[in-house]
Amino acid sequence: MTIVKQAVILAGGMGIRLRPLTYTTPKPMVLVNKRPFLEYLIEMLRENGISEVVILLGYLHEKITEYFGDGPNFGMNIKYSIGDVSYETGTRIKNAEKLLEEHFLLLYCDNYLPLNLRKLVEFHIKHKPLATVTVYANKDGATRNNVHVNDEGYVTKYDGTRTDKDLNGVDIGFFIIDKKVLELMPKHNFSFEEEILPVLIEKQQLCGYRTDNRYYSISTPERLQLTEKFLQPKKVIFLDRDGVINKKPPKADYVKNWKEFAFLPGAIEAIKLLSENNYEIYIITNQPGIGRGTMNEQDLKIIHENLEKEVRKHGAKITAIYYCPHGWNDGCECRKPKPGMFFQAAREHHLDLKKSIFVGDDERDAQAGESAGCKTILVTPENNLLQIVESLHRSRDET
Whole-angstrom Cα distance, residue 149 to residue 178? 20
Residues in the chain: 399
Among 240, 352, 361, 365, the one annotated catalytic: 240
- State the Cα angle at 39 between 36 and 45, rounded to 5°: 155
Evaluate whether 105 touches 175 at the Cβ level (below 8 Å): yes
Q: What is the distance between the alpha carbons of residues 378 and 389, in angstroms, rounded to a whole number?
A: 12
242 is an active site residue: yes
Q: Determine which one of 242, 352, 361, 365 is catalytic.
A: 242
Phi, psi of 229 (to 5 degrees): -65, -40
167, 157 in Cβ contact below 8 A?
yes
* 164 noted as active-site residue: no
DSSP codes of every residue in 221-287: HHHHHHHHHHHS--EEEEEESBTTTBPPPPTTS---SGGG--BPTTHHHHHHHHHHTTEEEEEEEE-
Task: Judge whether 21 and 42 are in contact, CB under 8 Å.
Answer: no
Pairing of strands 206-211, 147-149: unpaired
Tell me which residues are annotated as active site: 240, 242
